């Protein structure tokens, strides 16, 4: 914890109703700000260190795992349940890591593949320069009736955009990739499976803020959580731009958060690394307003010291659980 005793006492005194949830939230917010002020690191760095520590100290090992490594060895995990992180984009809070380099452009391109192209074809992904999904080829050069194919089959993206435009304050703005009917065919069931969207206004200027919550059933945390968070921030920016709303709060809820047994040393290394001071923000810098017209060239990750990160906190190798 990065808070001192005085700051903790101030929080307890402010939460005079002794509501444990209020106290927990206030402590986390204050601790995160103290971390950023002391280290110069990102909000993503804070959540990363906090969660990896919790997994190593409190996690449980699974039995009879479905995934395996490329050499055929069962890929066991150490897990914790119900992890929540929250980023207020209006305050410049960003999930990017400086504990290791993040290939942010590849992350955003995956969002194009799923929600713009609405594809499950590996060839489409290869054309975007991404090949690490190839391990999930079901034999026909697709990942099966999953992800983008599900978005297309149920017209999920267009329904969301239309509903948010026509009924912004409705409470049924959901994209759900967990479609049981699709699971009757082969394929990897989606990990990031549901987004829930809400519009709010500030009551003064009538500015409409678009908030989004991502629900993820399972996260290979050390390998991909920063990638997942950054790509869904990108999706939030795209939807907000299409509708003329202001990107608001991005909340990430992970039901089961794990590291693989071959990632323990990497997790310890990440915990011990020092963040690189930065003010990184992902922005969508374009006059375009059509969701389907945005390209990777419209995105910028500003104030992200990539060269320094590569030199100080170089990339780590992770064996994938397939």
Question: C-alpha 56: how far from its chain's center?
Answer: 21
Alpha-carbon distance 162 to 167, whole Å? 8
Angle subtended at Cα 151 by Cα 145 and Cα 156, rounded to the nearest 5 degrees? 145
Render 199-251 in DSSP notation, one character per residue: EEE-SSS-PEEEEEEEEEEEEEHHHHHHHHHHHHHHHHHHHHHHHTPEEEEEE
Alpha-carbon distance 29 to 33, whole Å? 6
Strand partners, 144: 187
User: Residue 197: CB partners within 8 Å, gap ≥ 6?
Assistant: 160, 164, 173, 174, 210, 211, 212, 239
Nearest to 151, CA basis, from 174, 124, 171? 174
Does residue 15 have an active-site annotation? no
Quick count: other Cβ atoms within 10 Å of Cβ 272? 9
Quick count: other Cβ atoms within 10 Å of Cβ 156? 19
- Match 């500003």 to its residue by tokens: 302
User: Residues 15, 94, 191, 192: which is the catalytic one?
Assistant: 191
Catalytic residue positions?
Answer: 191
């Amino acid at each position: 914890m990065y808070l001192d005793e005085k700051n903790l006492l101030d929080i307890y005194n402010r939460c005079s109703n002794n509501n444990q949830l209020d106290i927990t939230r206030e402590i986390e917010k204050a601790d995160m700000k103290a971390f950023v002020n002391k280290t110069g690191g990102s909000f993503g760095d804070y959540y990363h260190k906090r969660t990896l520590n919790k997994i190593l100290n409190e996690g449980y090992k699974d039995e009879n795992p479905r995934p395996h490594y490329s050499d055929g060895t069962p890929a066991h995990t150490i897990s914790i349940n119900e992890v929540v992180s929250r980023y207020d984009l209006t305050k410049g809070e960003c999930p990017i890591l400086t504990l290791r380099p993040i290939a942010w452009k590849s992350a955003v391109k995956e969002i194009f593949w799923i929600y713009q192209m609405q594809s499950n074809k590996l060839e489409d992904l290869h054309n975007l320069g991404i090949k690490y999904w190839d391990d999930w080829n079901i034999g026909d050069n697709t990942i099966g009736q999953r992800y983008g194919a599900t978005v297309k089959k149920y017209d999920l993206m267009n329904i969301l955009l239309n509903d948010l435009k026509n009924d912004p304050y409705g409470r049924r703005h959901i994209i759900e990739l967990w479609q049981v009917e699709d699971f009757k065919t082969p394929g990897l069931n989606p990990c990031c499976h549901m987004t829930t969207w809400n519009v709010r206004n500030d009551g003064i200027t009538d500015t409409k803020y678009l908030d989004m919550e991502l629900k993820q059933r399972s996260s290979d945390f050390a390998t991909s959580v920063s990638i997942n968070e950054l790509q869904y921030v990108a999706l939030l920016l795209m939807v907000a731009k299409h509708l003329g709303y202001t990107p608001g709060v991005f909340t990430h809820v992970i039901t089961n958060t794990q590291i693989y047994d071959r990632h323990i040393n990497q997790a310890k290394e990440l915990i011990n690394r020092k963040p690189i001071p930065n003010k990184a923000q992902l922005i969508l810098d374009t006059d375009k307003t059509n969701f389907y017209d945005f390209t990777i060239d419209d995105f910028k990750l500003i104030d992200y010291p990539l060269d320094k990160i590569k030199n100080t906190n170089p990339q780590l190798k992770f064996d994938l659980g397939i």
